[in-house]
Amino acid sequence: MAKKFWVICATFILSVTRAYAVETDTTVRVSPAQLFKDTTTGMEFVFIKGSCYQMGDIFDDPEGGAEEKPVHEVCVDDFYLGKYEVTQGQWKSVMESNPSNESFCGDNCPVGNVSWNDAQDFIGRLNSRSGGSKYRLPTEAEWEYAARSGGKSERYSGGNDVDSVAWYNENSDNKLHLVGTKAPNGFGIYDMAGSVWEWTNDWYGSNYYSSSPRNNPAGPDSGVDRVVRGGCVTGEAYNMRTVRRNGYTPDTRRPSLGFRLLRTL
């Protein structure tokens, strides 16, 4: 009887000790929250679980270009990505101005007329306010992985029906619209097809896919243009494709040029 009593006591003590360790041990790994909200701007970020995928023109699309090939395996780490493109209101909250030609569209429309250099200025100020360096533009590989809902076979971000997921020249009246008014993709991210072209962090290289590293590729070391992705309200449907690549010089400003942010873990 005494032996049974001590066994029960020992089992109880061990369970309490383990529970306390789980509660107090700061090395315990917890899954990231699925949504993060920046208190400075109100921007929402969706958690993206990294993995490997086949990057490039997996559809062998007749409308595709040589710069979208060869298809190659790429692996990206976990990250957070903006649920929406940076809006005019969010831009104003950081920069105290609005560069958009279509300011009449309102604070919840994507900001446009933003160069790559302008986006870097915005990021620098936001990081300074946040007391760190968590925010940046996504790499081209991160952008495509997220746009394709985790590397799935999606011609447009969210599926194969362009009208349901994108504002483009045939349904937009060539004007900006409020963010989040088309269907989201599989991650719950909006407007990665259409709306405004989105700057990425990479230099553009038409032959880069032939020499891209497998893990977290970040583009060529130098170049003339920076990569933009996703198409815009004045573009044709083929520009909305998830694998479509384009580039502009970092100082280029156009009404259809905007961006979305990545937040690192």
Question: What does the pLDDT look like over 73-97, one tens digit per residue?
Answer: 999 999 999 999 999 999 999 999 9
**Rounded Cα gap, residues 142 and 172, in angstroms:** 27
For the chain, what percent of residues have pLDDT higher than 90? Answer: 86
Reply yes or no on whether the pLDDT at 118 is more than 90.
Answer: yes
Reply yes or no on whether the pLDDT at 16 is more than 80.
Answer: no
The residue among 14 and 130 whose pLDDT is bigger is 130
Residue 40: its pLDDT value, please?
A: 87
Reply yes or no on whether the pLDDT at 12 is more than 60.
Answer: no
Residues 6+ apart with CB under 8 A from 100: 88, 91, 109, 111, 112, 113, 176, 255
Residue 33: its pLDDT value, please?
A: 84
Closest CA to 71 of 243, 247, 216: 243
pTM for the complete prediction?
0.88
Residue 31: its pLDDT value, please?
A: 64
Reply yes or no on whether the pLDDT at 255 is more than 80.
Answer: yes
The answer to whether the CB of 259 falls within 8 A of the CB of 174 is: no
What is the mean predicted confidence (pLDDT) over 45-53?
A: 98
The residue among 123 and 19 whose pLDDT is bigger is 123
Band (7; pLDDT cuts 50, 70, 90): very low
| Tokens standing for residue 245 | 């690549």
**Rounded Cα gap, residues 198 and 236, in angstroms:** 16
Reply yes or no on whether the pLDDT at 147 is more than 90.
Answer: yes
Cis amide leading into 250 (omega within 30): no
What is the mean predicted confidence (pLDDT) over 91-108?
A: 96
Assign domain 33-263 to its CATH architecture: Alpha-Beta Complex (3.90)
Residue 253: its pLDDT value, please?
A: 98
Reply yes or no on whether the pLDDT at 25 is more than 80.
Answer: no
| Tokens standing for residue 24 | 């107090």
What is the mean predicted confidence (pLDDT) over 217-226?
A: 98
Gyration radius from the chain CA atoms: 22
Residue 131: its pLDDT value, please?
A: 87
Residue with tokens 């049974």: 4
